[in-house]
Amino acid sequence: MTGQRDLQSDVREDLPPLWARGRLDAVALKDLRWLTYTVAREWVPELAAHEFSRAAGEIAEEAIDRGGGNWDLWQDPGRLVCHVSLGDAHPAAGPGHPPDASSEPAAGTTAWRAYGAAHRVGVSHARDMMAVRVLIDDP
């Protein structure tokens, strides 16, 4: 797993507050679920954190069933995003590149659909990528 975390006040301002990337396989799935829950719990109530983690696990499982892929987890203003791409890591995945702002409508990106009872979690699917987001209150 690679990533960046803004832990010091003298860190470059252009780095995101949180960004992690990893390769998906069955072994990594448990870690991804734990990581998405733990990170989300910093910003949202427990129910929303569980739903975000469950949705992230579901899209990761789907990617594994389809041959594997990569995941990115990042924080943007007002939301935490878990992005899963089939095959190699998507070059546009990461902070400041929300999956719902695709410049290519033909790619098949769908609008965010509500997931679960917390109403803070949404899921988006396209042909070769899936994403889940949870709306957060910025610190």
Question: Domains of the chain (ranges plus CATH)?
Answer: 18-135 (3.30.565)
pLDDT of the residue at 6 = 36
Average pLDDT of span 79-103: 74
* Higher pLDDT among residues 97 and 76, named by residue: 76
Global pTM value: 0.75
pLDDT of the residue at 125 = 84
Q: Can you spell out the DSSP letters for the chain?
A: -EEEE--STTS-TTS-SEEEEEEE-HHHHHHHHHHHHHHHHTTS-HHHHHHHHHHHHHHHHHHHHTT-EEEEEEEETTEEEEEEEESSPPTT-STT--GGG-S-GGG-PPPPEE-SSSSSEEEEE-SSEEEEEEE----
